[in-house]
Amino acid sequence: MTQTVAVLGTGKIGEALLSGMIRAGWPAGDLLVTARRAERAEELRTRYGVEAVTNAEAAKSADILILAVKPQDMGRLLDELAPHVTTDRLVISAAAGITTGFIEDSLASGTPVVRVMPNTPVLVDEGMSVISAGSHATAEHLGHAEAIFGGVGKTLRVPESQQDAATALSGSGPAYFYFLVEAMTDAGILLGLPRAQAHDLIVQAAIGAAVMLRDSGEHPVKLREAVTSPAGTTISAIRELENHGVRAALIAALEAARDRSRELATGNG
């Protein structure tokens, strides 16, 4: 691999991408990092053997720039990069709610931009990263993004118009499961189980169910019905979930997440 990749804003997600690229075969000598604090930059240099540079230096020398800063910091970062980014660079944004149009307007006309919405399981190589092309990005540019983010999980291409919906489902998705596990753990305690045992039971049930969903090819309704015996314990629980409107609440919650993503995209932070 001969392209130089710079990760700008190497927090948890940025570091996950960095370590994923190294495991996927990128030589450390072809990777650059930037960090706001000098001690963080030194930590990354020591841990991964990569060169720590300024944002301007990264823009001048890297073929691919991964913008992994917080959305509220994107404007300031683009101001730093704009004088140095030429149209032969690929800019990949991993900032929630930031559109490719916003980035394109801040850089030289014709700069290829790819928007990616990863989620936190990239930290354990089980992430889902949703990828969209900007106005000047080609299939080759999308392929570069897939090669990088595919090292820490799966990728999916969608039109940018679907990014807000993908953010609601995938970007925020892990939090919904953590919320559910938290509630089920409390229920286990109420039913008389120690917290640690309740937690272990629920986590393993979640892992097993996820693997079955992924590997069986069966519709979730069919998998649920396989657990649901006539007049049994499961159907009694599901009746209560329906009585309390859990399905409707989930749909409303995801709509709210989508709407908030749209607000962030328009700068209403």
pLDDT tens profile 37-78 = 989 999 999 999 999 999 999 999 999 999 999 888 999 999
How would residue 145 be classed by pLDDT, with cut points 50, 70 and 90? very high
pLDDT tens profile 99-124 = 999 999 999 999 999 999 999 999 89
What is the predicted pLDDT for the residue at 268? 58
To the nearest 10 degrees (0 to 180), the angle between helices 12-23 and 139-149 is: 100
What is the predicted pLDDT for the residue at 80? 95
Which candidate, 209, 208, 185, 206, places its Cα nearest to that of 197?
185
What is the predicted pLDDT for the residue at 267? 65
Residues 6+ apart with CB under 8 A from 86: 108, 111
Q: Is 93's pLDDT higher than 60?
A: yes
pTM, entire model: 0.89
What is the predicted pLDDT for the residue at 228? 96
Between the CA of residue 52 and those of 46, 49, 175, what are the distances in Å?
Answer: 10, 9, 32
pLDDT tens profile 162-205 = 999 999 999 999 999 999 999 999 999 999 999 999 999 999 99
d(C-alpha 161, C-alpha 213), whole Å: 27
d(C-alpha 241, C-alpha 115), whole Å: 37
How would you label 6-20 residue by residue, b for 16+ Cβ within 10 Å and e otherwise?
Answer: bbbbbeebbbbbbbb
Q: Write the DSSP assignment of 94-136 as a string of letters.
A: --TT--HHHHHHHS-TT--EEEEE--GGGGGT-EEEEEEE-TT
